[in-house]
Amino acid sequence: MLCGCAQLFGLDETDRAPTTSLSFQRVSIGARLEYAPQDLAGSMAAYLVPDAAAETGLVRVPAVQAEPGLWTAPLPTPAPLLFDLPDYPKPLLRIFDFPQLEVSGLFGVLEHPSPEAAPVDAKLTVNAMLDAPTTGAERFELLTVGSWSSIALPAPPVGMTALSATFPVTMMTSITGRPLERITSADAAVVLRYVSNTELRGALRAAPFDQTGDDMITGMLTAVTPEPFSFEIDQMDAVRRYGLIKPAVAAPTMAWAMHAAPGAQLNNDNGPLLSQGAPTTPTAVMGQAGNPFAPDWPTVVLWQTQGARAYTPPSAALPVTLYAGMHQRAVLEPGLQMKLPAGLPTRITLLGAVLETDGVTIARPARGVEVSFTVDVPDNTMYQLQLFRLVPNMANTALQYELKLGANGVVPRFVLPPEVFEPGALYTLRAISVVGGFPALAEGDLTQRTLPVSISFLDSGVFQVAQ
pLDDT of residue 1: 32
- Which domains, ranges and CATH numbers included, belong to the chain? 21-110 (2.60.40), 123-223 (2.60.40), 228-465 (2.60.40.10)
- What does the alpha-carbon distance between residue 414 and residue 402 come to, in Å, rounded to a whole number? 20
- What does the alpha-carbon distance between residue 218 and residue 186 come to, in Å, rounded to a whole number? 17
Q: Quick check: 123 and 214 in contact, CB under 8 A?
A: yes
What is the residue type of 32? Answer: R
DSSP string, 455-466: EEEEEPPPEEE-
Give the CB-side neighbour count of residue 466, counting CA atoms within 13 A. Answer: 7
Phi, psi at residue 242, to the nearest 5°?
-60, -30
pLDDT of residue 17: 57
Check the CA dihedral 314-424-466-390 and report its sign. positive
If residue 6 lies in a helix (H) or strand (E), which one and from where to where?
A: helix 5-8
With a CB cutoff of 8 Å and minimum separation 6, the contacts of 250 are: 307, 308, 309
Number of Cβ within 10 Å of residue 366's Cβ equals 11
pLDDT of residue 8: 31
| Segment-wise mean pLDDT, segments of 10 residues, the chain, 467 residues | 35 57 97 95 96 96 96 96 96 98 97 96 97 96 98 97 98 97 98 95 98 97 97 98 98 98 95 96 96 98 98 97 98 97 98 96 97 97 98 98 98 98 98 98 96 98 97
**DSSP state, residue 230:** E
Q: Quick check: 188 and 209 in contact, CB under 8 A?
A: no
Q: What is the dihedral of CA 200, 204, 208, 212, to 10 degrees?
A: -90
pLDDT of residue 16: 52
Beta-bridged to residue 456, according to DSSP, are 326, 433
Contacts 24+ apart (CB under 8 A), 58-65: 58/367, 58/368, 58/415, 58/417, 63/20, 63/22, 65/40, 65/41
